[in-house]
Amino acid sequence: MTPRSSTRRGGPRALPVVGAVVAALGLGACSALGDPSAAALVDGETVVTQADVATVLEELPLEVSNGQPVAPAQVLTFLAVGDTVESIARENGAVLGDVQARQFLASVDEEAGRPTGIYSEPTLRLISTNLMLGEITQDPALAAEVEEQFQALVDDLEVNPRYGEVSEGGAQLIVPVEHPWLPAPDADA
């Protein structure tokens, strides 16, 4: 398992509400991770690191999520599904990436009246994944394919218990679960 950063390329659209993008999925459980730096392991080889999640939590403008803080499990969900979303988008000519993610974030910064930020690869990946989801799920057939692919991903997704667990249904692929013996990831990073 090789740690790999979580960014792809793409273009801007209206950003869907972060918490509702992965809605209505029936999903299963996962096993424990062996890499202490990992927040999740996708397909047995793609590692989403805790540092990636913390970086996104630190950088993501509140305006992206309607002024509400984004939960670490939501960030991890988007970083974990990035390759799946990009694959579906690529097959359908809707790949969006860093350029579009930067443009989107620049417009958010401009609307907020602040200088354009410098965003890391994990943050750009989250935004491009969200933009691609918004693009491809406009087509009902592609939305059904996304749901099917996310359900298939469940068997190949392992989540660090600090971030939660794979959902057994509901609005999010990874749901937070409190474990009193584990420190929770910092949502206010």
Q: What is the pLDDT of residue 74?
A: 93
> What's the total number of domains in the chain?
1
One-letter identity of residue 42: V
Q: What is the pLDDT of residue 12?
A: 41
**DSSP secondary structure letter of residue 117:** P
Query: Mean of the per-residue pLDDT values for the chain?
Result: 80
State the virtual CA torsion across 89, 91, 93, 99 in degrees, nearest 10. Answer: 50
Q: Using CA atoms, how far apart are residues 12 and 3, in angstroms rounded to an integer?
A: 28
Q: Using CA atoms, how far apart are residues 53 and 73, in angstroms rounded to an integer?
A: 9
| Domain contains 158 | yes
| Domain contains 182 | no
Q: What is the pLDDT of residue 79?
A: 95
Per-residue pLDDT at 87 exceeds 60? yes
Q: Are the CB atoms for 13 and 131 separated by under 8 Å?
A: yes
How many CA within 13 A on the CB side of residue 180? 0
Per-residue pLDDT at 177 exceeds 60? yes
Q: What is the pLDDT of residue 36?
A: 84
**Three-state DSSP string of 58-80:** HHCCHHHHCCCCCCHHHHHHHHH
Per-residue pLDDT at 121 exceeds 80? yes
Q: What is the pLDDT of residue 80?
A: 93
pLDDT per position as a tens digit, 43-61: 888 899 999 999 999 999 9
Q: What is the pLDDT of residue 188?
A: 52
Give the pLDDT band (50/70/90) at residue 139: very high
Per-residue pLDDT at 160 exceeds 80? yes
| Domain contains 181 | no
112 Cβ partners below 8 Å, 6+ apart? Answer: 61, 63
Q: What is the pLDDT of residue 103?
A: 96
Range of the domain at 80: 2-175
Q: Are the CB atoms for 143 and 137 separated by under 8 Å?
A: yes
Q: What is the pLDDT of residue 86?
A: 92
Q: Are the CB atoms for 76 and 159 separated by under 8 Å?
A: yes
| Domain contains 69 | yes
Give the pLDDT band (50/70/90) at residue 169: low
Q: Give which of 80, 89, 167 is closest to 134, Cα–Cα.
A: 89
| Domain contains 143 | yes
| Domain contains 183 | no
- Mean pLDDT computed over 120-146: 93
| Domain contains 184 | no
Per-residue pLDDT at 20 exceeds 60? no
pLDDT per position as a tens digit, 27-41: 333 344 677 899 999
Please count the helices (runs of H) and the strands (runs of E) in the chain: 5, 6
| Domain contains 180 | no
Q: How far is CA 7 from CA 13, 128, 160, in A?
A: 18, 8, 20
What are the tokens at 12? 């801007």
- Mean pLDDT computed over 126-138: 93
